[in-house]
Amino acid sequence: MFSLFAGRLKLRFDLISRQWIADVIVGPKKEHSESLELGTQDLQVAKDSAFAFYKQFKAMHATSSVTCWDCQQYKPRQRLCDLGVPECRQTGGKFAQCCDLYLPIKD
């Protein structure tokens, strides 16, 4: 398994279907995550397809405001700030606008 963009994109190889699968998570709601069967055994082809899907999916669900979900320190699977900033959870991720430790994810 490969984790990219601070855990927002994960590539994993499914042994049963013998193909790469991309798991994308770009926000807190259920509709902000998706899994996609890439239909290939070639890692480079899978990586290119996953990058394209990630960028398209992220653009489709983009918001105009900055949230903790857009920060490198935020762990999307655990829904916690890696640095332990409690305001992250208390404000629903809107604390990122005034956080001095905010580092945007570079896509």
Confidence of residue 19 (pLDDT cuts 50, 70, 90): very high
Say whether both 73 and 102 belong to one domain: yes
Query: Quick check: 26 and 32 in contact, CB under 8 A?
Result: yes
DSSP per-residue letters across 43-88: HHHHHHHHHHHHHHHHHHT--SS--GGGBTTEETTTTEETT--HHH
pLDDT attached to residue 47: 94
pTM recorded for the entire structure: 0.76
Amino acid identity, residue 97? Q
Say whether both 19 and 7 belong to one domain: yes
The Cα 41–Cα 58 span in angstroms is 25
Say whether both 81 and 98 belong to one domain: yes
pLDDT attached to residue 44: 94
pLDDT attached to residue 36: 94
For 34, the 3-state DSSP assignment is strand
Show the domain range for 18: 2-60
Say whether both 42 and 68 belong to one domain: no
Say whether both 55 and 8 belong to one domain: yes
Domain boundary among 37, 60, 83: 60
pLDDT attached to residue 104: 87
